[in-house]
Amino acid sequence: MNRQRLTWIVIGVVFAALLVVRGMTGQGLGRVYVQREDVSYARIETRDANGATTLSWKRVAEADAADVRWQEWSTAPPKAWFAAQAKDPGQTAITLSWPRTIGLWLAAFFTLAIFSFLWADNVLYKLAEATVVGVSAAYWMVIGFWDTLVPKLFAALVPAVVQAHVQPSLKPVDDMQWWSMALALVLGGMMLWRLAPRGGWIGAWPLAFIVGVTAGLKIVSHVESDLMAQGLATMESVVAVVPGTGGATDMGASVWGTLANLLVVVGVLSALTYFLFSVEHKGLVGGTARVGVWYLMITFGAAFGFTVMGRIALLAARFEFLFDDWLWLIDPNHLRT
């Protein structure tokens, strides 16, 4: 047995032992409770003067009067279950949810499996990686189908089907939308032609369309909201006049403001000089470009500092999941006490 495998086994055994100890002490750990809600709807058909019927639904309390019924479960805090059990040990209003409890443990397993990559590539990480690839690829395809194809493409081209099975409140689309969806269907079909044994080249046509339109759209948006807007923002007076008390000018603040404005203008110009391609960075241009690089480096340093904050918050959120939701070690939101 090599050393690495031994390390893994020891870590695993110690961890499992700690889990067992945690499970035996206090309130235990890692359970999810749910509250059941019965939903019943009755069908109401109303006939107007012309004899046309409209269908509406009313939420009803008694299951007998309902045409459609189902159950919904929502998560209940463990303290609600503790309280309910203390009052009546036979209650069924709040119950342990096996699917969600298993899910919670699975989520904890996946969290640890991904963290294990920090140590080294290993079988747990590979398993987590395979799962996330399979699940997420399918997830986005399902979302693409139900949230894009159905409400956009099918709603435009086969509205009756969508109305009957998915969204009775669907409104008819205008001509422009119909044509853009018909175009999308044709181009999408050409893309799929790649799967055919011959004539796969036709897939290059929709790609060319997408690239062309993207180029046309982006040139407008970038020149307008970036180039012109940022240029405009720099075309302000460098001299700042800051009003002080009693109508006089606050000299100190004005000098500082002027200096700041001057530094901004110098910075923009010198950093832009750095981006010049057709001039060698020598002499005056080289010197200016160097100042530009200093500005860029300060900008990057600032971005780094701010980004780090968010990253630590994300890690903290994962640890909170492990300590709070799974291990029940801490209870910052008072869900159990």
Residue list 88-107, contact with another protein (CB under 8 A): 99-100, 103-104, 106-107
For residue 37, give the H/E element and its range: strand 33-47
Site string for another protein, 179-218 (x = CB under 8 A): -xx-xxx-xxx-xx-xx-----xxxxxxxxxxxxxxxxxx
The residue within the footprint of another protein, chosen from 30, 35, 60, 129 (CB under 8 A), is 129
**Measured distance CA(305)–CA(295) in Å, rounded:** 16
14 binds another protein per the rule CB under 8 A:
no
Looking only at residues 133 through 162 of this chain, which bind another protein when binding is defined by CB under 8 A? 133-142, 144-146, 148-149, 152-153
With binding defined as CB under 8 A, does residue 65 bind another protein? Answer: no
Identify the H or E element spanning 74: strand 68-76
- Using CB under 8 A as the binding rule, whether residue 18 contacts another protein is answered as no
Is residue 38 a contact point for another protein (CB under 8 A)? no
Cβ-based nearer residue to another protein, 82 or 268: 268
In the chain, which residue ranges form alpha helices assigned H by DSSP?
Answer: 3-24, 78-87, 98-115, 123-143, 155-157, 159-165, 175-192, 204-222, 229-234, 251-274, 283-320
Number of residues forming the site for another protein (CB under 8 A): 171
Which is closer to another protein, CB of 90 or CB of 186?
186
Residues 63, 38: contact at Cβ < 8 Å?
Answer: yes
Q: Got the DSSP string for 157-222?
A: H-HHHHHHHT-TTPPPPPHHHHHHHHHHHHHHHHHHGGGSSS-GGGGHHHHHHHHHHHHHHHHHHH
287 binds another protein (CB under 8 A): no
Q: Please report whether residue 126 would count as binding another protein according to CB under 8 A.
A: yes
- Smallest gap from Cβ 20 to another protein, in A, equals 20
